[in-house]
Amino acid sequence: MILPTILVLTFAVAALLYVTRPLLAAPEPRPPIGSDAMSRRLALVEERDRAVAALRELEFDHRTGKLSERDYRELIGPLRHRAVETLRALELGDREG
């Protein structure tokens, strides 16, 4: 009965040290947790990436015959416009700091 008790106590102490170590150690640099401004910027970056991906997808759908020439021409304009708008919004955000 003594050996199991010693083993359990050893594990408990080791776990306690492992859990409390980060609280006692000097804080390490970690990726910053985002502010609201960063969240807005991230949303714009995501939107830009989506717009670029949508353009690529449109191109691929056209090449694989899922989109007619007419549909392709009709859709590519608004998508390009959206991508440009998002880039402008990002740029504007950069200027405003």
Partner 1 sequence: MLESAVNALVSAFIGTALAAATLVLAFVRHDFSLSYVANHSSRELPLGYTLAALWSGQEGSLLLWLLVLTGVGAAALLLNRRLVVDVLPWTVPILAGIAAFFALIPNVVASPFGTQPAPLNGVGMNASLQNPYMMIHPPVLYLGYVSLAIPFAFAMAALLSRRVDERWIVASRRWTLFSWTFLGIAILIGAKWAYESIGWGGYYAWDPVENAALMPWLAATAFLHSVMVQEKKNMLRVWNVVLIALTFSLTLFGTFLTRSGAINSIHSFSQSSIGGWFLALIVVVASGSALLILTRLDDLRTPTRFESLASREAAFLYNNLLLVAFALTMLWGVAFPLLSEALRGEAVTVGPPYYNFFLKVFGLPLLLLMGIGPLLAWRRASLRSVARAAAWPFLLAVAVGAMLLVAGAGSSPPGVIAYTFATFVTGAIVLEFWRGTRARRDLDGSSWAGAFSSLVARNRRRYGGYISHAAVVLLAIGVVGSSAYGSTVTKTLAPGDSTSAAGYSATYLGTTFERGANHDELRGQFLLSYGGESVGVVAAGKNHYNVEQFFSTAVGIHTDWLRAADVMLIGDQFNPDGSVVLKLAVNPLIGLIWLAGIVFLVGSVVAMWPDAREQRQLARRSFEAHVVPVRAR
Q: Does 1 bind partner 1 (CB under 8 A)?
A: no
Q: Does 55 bind partner 1 (CB under 8 A)?
A: no
Question: Least separation, in Å, of the C-beta of 9 and partner 1?
Answer: 13
Q: Which two tokens stand for residue 38?
A: 């960063």
Q: Which is nearer to partner 1, 71 or 85 (CB)?
A: 71
Contact 44, 86 (CB under 8 A): yes
Candidates 82, 62, 81, 64; CA nearest to 72 is 62
Q: CA-to-CA distance for 93 and 41, rounded, in angstroms? A: 8
Amino acid letter, residue 75: L
Q: Which is nearer to partner 1, 7 or 84 (CB)?
A: 7
In 3-state terms, what secondary structure has residue 68?
Answer: coil
CA 19, distance to chain mean position in Å, is: 28
Site string for partner 1, 11-50 (x = CB under 8 A): x---x--xxxxxx------xxxxx---xx-xxx-xxx-xx
Q: Which residues bind partner 1 (CB under 8 A)?
A: 11, 15, 18-23, 30-34, 38-39, 41-43, 45-47, 49-50, 53-54, 57-58, 60-61, 63-68, 70-71, 75, 93-95, 97
